[in-house]
C-alpha cells in the first residue's frame, strides 16, 4: 500500500477575488427590497474514464425559498451544455434572476422532457441518463444563499458528477440529487500539487476533502450499488499530469484531506481500480496537523510529497 506524507514548503492563505457586490454600502444589512442572483454551474471529474461528456438540457432554472418558487430563468430554447467541461473552478453561466432580498435554500433545473440528460463516451456513442422527475419537479440542488437589497449574489451549483452520476444494476446511468448549492462569497479554495514523479503513467491520483471529523477508513471500501466510493466527501479533484489540483467553492470551515491512488485496469468498466488512500498531514513547528481551514474569499495552497 502506498503511503503519503505532506511536506509543506509554505502553507499560504491568500485573499481571492470572490465578492458579493452592493450598489450602496448602506444596504449591506438591508433585508427588504430587491436584489439579484447570478447562477453558475460547475463539476468535479467522473470516475469513469470512458466518459467524455455529460450533457444537461435545461428549460428553466427555478430559485426556491421554503418550498416556493420565487422566480426563475426561462430559456427560449433548451439550454444544452456539457457539465464535465467546467471543472477546477471554471463555471457555466446560466443567467441572472431578480429576487426579493432574503434567504434561499434550493435551485431546481427543469430538464427537457425526452432529452433531459445524456452521456457521451470516448468511442462517440451516447446513452440517456435517468433523472427522476427531471421535467416535472426538476433536478434539485440544495444549499443556502442570501440576496441583499440592491446586491448581486453569485451562486454556484456544484453537480459533482463523481457522486451524482452512478450506474445501476441494469447498466443504466442515474443522476442522483447529491449536488450542492453555495454562495461564492462564502466559499474558499484549496489549491495544491502532488509529487507524481514516483507514480506510474498507468495510475491516477484523486484528492478528496472531508468536513473535520467526518472521514473514516470505511469510506475507502467498495461502494454499495447506487453510491460512490468516498461518498462522504464534500469535494474532490483529479490531479493533472503536472501534479496540480484545485478544490474550488469550498464552504468556509475545517477539512481533512485524503489522497487516493488508482491503477489502470482494462478489466474494470471505469478503467481504474482503487489501490490506497491516506490522510494528509502538515508539519508545522514540529507538530503534525491534519486539519486544514478554509476561509471565505481565500485560497489555501498545499504541496504534497510522496515517500
pLDDT digit string, tens, across residues 105-123 = 999 999 987 678 999 999 9
* The pLDDT of residue 30: 54
Phi and psi at residue 232, in whole multiples of 5°? Answer: -85, 0
Helices (H), 62-129: none
Closest of 1, 10, 14 to residue 295, by C-alpha: 14
Q: Do the strands 272-279 and 4-6 form a parallel or antiparallel pair, or are they unpaired?
A: unpaired
Q: Residue 134: its pLDDT value, please?
A: 80
Query: Element (H or E) spanning 36, and its range?
Result: strand 34-42
State the average pLDDT over residues 267-271.
64
Per-residue confidence (pLDDT) for residue 133, from 0 to 100: 81
Distance CA 89, CA 95 (A): 18
Neighbours of 194 (CB within 10 A): 24
> CA–CA separation, 252 vs 122, rounded Å?
37
Q: Which residue has the higher pLDDT, 49 or 307?
A: 49
**CA–CA separation, 302 vs 201, rounded Å?**
23
pLDDT reported for residue 29: 53
Strand, helix or coil at 204?
strand
Cell of 137: 419537479
55 or 17, greater pLDDT: 55
Please give the pLDDT value at position 230: 94
Confidence of residue 24 (pLDDT cuts 50, 70, 90): very low
Report how far apart, in Å, the C-alpha atoms of 226 and of each of 107, 120, 166, 222 are: 23, 20, 6, 11
Residue 216 makes CB contacts below 8 A (sequence gap 6+) with none
Query: Tell me: the pLDDT tens digits for 126-144?
Result: 999 999 888 788 999 999 9
C-alpha cell at 260: 487516493
Q: Where are the domains of the chain?
A: 4-306
Phi-psi sector, 271: left (phi>0), alpha (psi -120 to 50), beta:
left
pLDDT at 22 exceeding the cut of 50:
no
What's the pTM? 0.85
Digit-coded pLDDT (tens) for 67-95: 999 999 999 999 999 999 999 999 999 99
Length of the chain: 307
Buried b (16+ CB within 10 A) or exposed e, 73-88: bebeebbebebbebbb
Cβ-proximal residues to 109 (8 Å cutoff; 6+ apart), any chain: 56, 58, 60, 61, 134, 138, 139, 141, 157
The confidence band for 188, taking pLDDT boundaries of 50, 70 and 90, is very high
Give the model's pLDDT for residue 169: 79
**Between 2 and 219, the higher pLDDT residue:** 219
Instruction: Assign 45 a pLDDT band (cuts: 50, 70, 90).
Output: confident
Euclidean distance between CA atoms 9 and 197, whole angstroms = 17
Cell of 199: 507514480
> For residues 182 and 65, is the Cβ–Cβ distance under 8 A?
no
Share of the chain above pLDDT 90, in %: 59
In 3D space, the residue among 141, 176, 144 whose CA is nearest the CA of residue 162 turns out to be 176
Q: Does residue 98 surpass a pLDDT of 80?
A: yes
Centre a 10 Å sphere on the Cβ of residue 6 and count the other Cβ atoms it contains: 24
User: Per mean pLDDT, which range of 61-65, 144-148, 235-239, 280-284 is the poorest?
Assistant: 280-284
The overall average pLDDT reported for the chain is 85
Q: What is the pLDDT of residues 157-174, one digit of tens each?
A: 999 998 999 888 788 899
Residue 80, CA atoms < 13 Å, CB-side half-sphere: 11
In this predicted structure, the answer to whether residue 15 has a pLDDT above a threshold of 50 is: no
Q: Are 195 and 306 in contact (CB under 8 A)?
A: yes
Helix H or strand E segment including 164:
helix 161-164
Find the mean pLDDT for residues 192-215: 87
* Coil/strand/helix, residue 212: coil
CA 71 to chain centre: 25
pLDDT at position 10 is: 40
**Does an H or E element contain 113, and which?**
none
Q: Residue 270 — pLDDT band, cuts 50, 70, 90?
A: low
Amino acid at each position: 500500500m502506498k503511503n503519503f506524507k505532506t511536506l509543506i514548503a509554505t502553507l499560504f492563505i491568500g485573499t481571492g477575488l470572490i465578492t458579493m457586490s452592493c450598489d450602496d454600502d448602506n444596504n449591506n444589512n438591508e433585508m427588504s427590497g430587491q436584489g439579484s442572483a447570478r447562477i453558475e454551474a460547475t463539476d468535479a471529474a467522473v470516475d469513469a474514464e470512458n466518459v467524455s461528456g455529460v450533457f444537461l438540457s435545461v428549460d428553466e432554472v427555478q430559485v426556491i425559498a421554503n418550498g416556493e418558487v420565487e422566480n426563475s430563468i426561462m430559456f427560449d430554447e433548451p439550454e444544452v451544455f456539457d457539465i464535465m467541461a467546467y471543472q477546477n473552478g471554471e463555471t457555466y453561466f446560466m443567467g441572472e434572476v431578480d429576487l426579493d432580498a432574503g434567504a434561499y435554500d434550493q435551485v431546481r433545473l427543469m430538464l427537457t422532457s425526452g432529452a433531459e440528460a445524456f452521456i457521451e463516451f470516448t468511442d462517440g456513442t451516447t446513452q440517456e441518463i435517468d433523472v427522476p422527475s427531471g421535467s416535472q419537479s426538476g433536478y434539485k440542488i440544495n444549499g443556502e444563499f442570501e440576496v441583499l437589497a440592491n446586491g448581486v449574489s453569485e451562486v454556484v451549483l456544484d453537480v459533482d458528477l463523481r457522486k451524482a452520476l452512478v450506474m445501476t444494476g441494469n447498466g443504466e446511468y442515474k443522476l442522483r440529487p447529491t449536488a450542492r448549492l453555495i454562495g461564492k462569497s462564502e466559499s474558499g479554495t484549496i489549491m495544491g500539487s502532488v509529487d507524481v514523479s514516483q507514480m506510474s503513467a498507468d495510475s491516477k491520483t484523486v484528492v478528496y476533502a472531508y468536513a473535520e471529523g467526518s472521514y473514516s477508513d470505511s469510506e475507502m471500501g467498495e461502494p454499495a450499488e447506487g453510491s460512490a466510493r468516498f461518498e462522504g466527501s464534500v469535494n474532490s479533484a483529479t490531479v493533472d499530469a503536472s501534479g496540480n489540483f484545485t478544490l474550488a467553492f469550498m464552504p468556509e470551515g475545517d477539512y481533512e484531506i485524503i489522497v487516493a491512488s488508482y491503477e489502470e485496469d482494462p478489466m474494470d468498466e471505469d478503467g481504474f481500480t482503487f489501490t490506497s488512500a491516506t490522510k494528509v498531514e502538515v508539519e508545522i513547528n514540529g507538530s503534525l496537523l491534519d486539519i486544514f481551514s478554509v476561509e471565505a474569499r481565500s485560497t489555501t495552497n498545499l504541496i504534497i510529497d510522496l515517500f
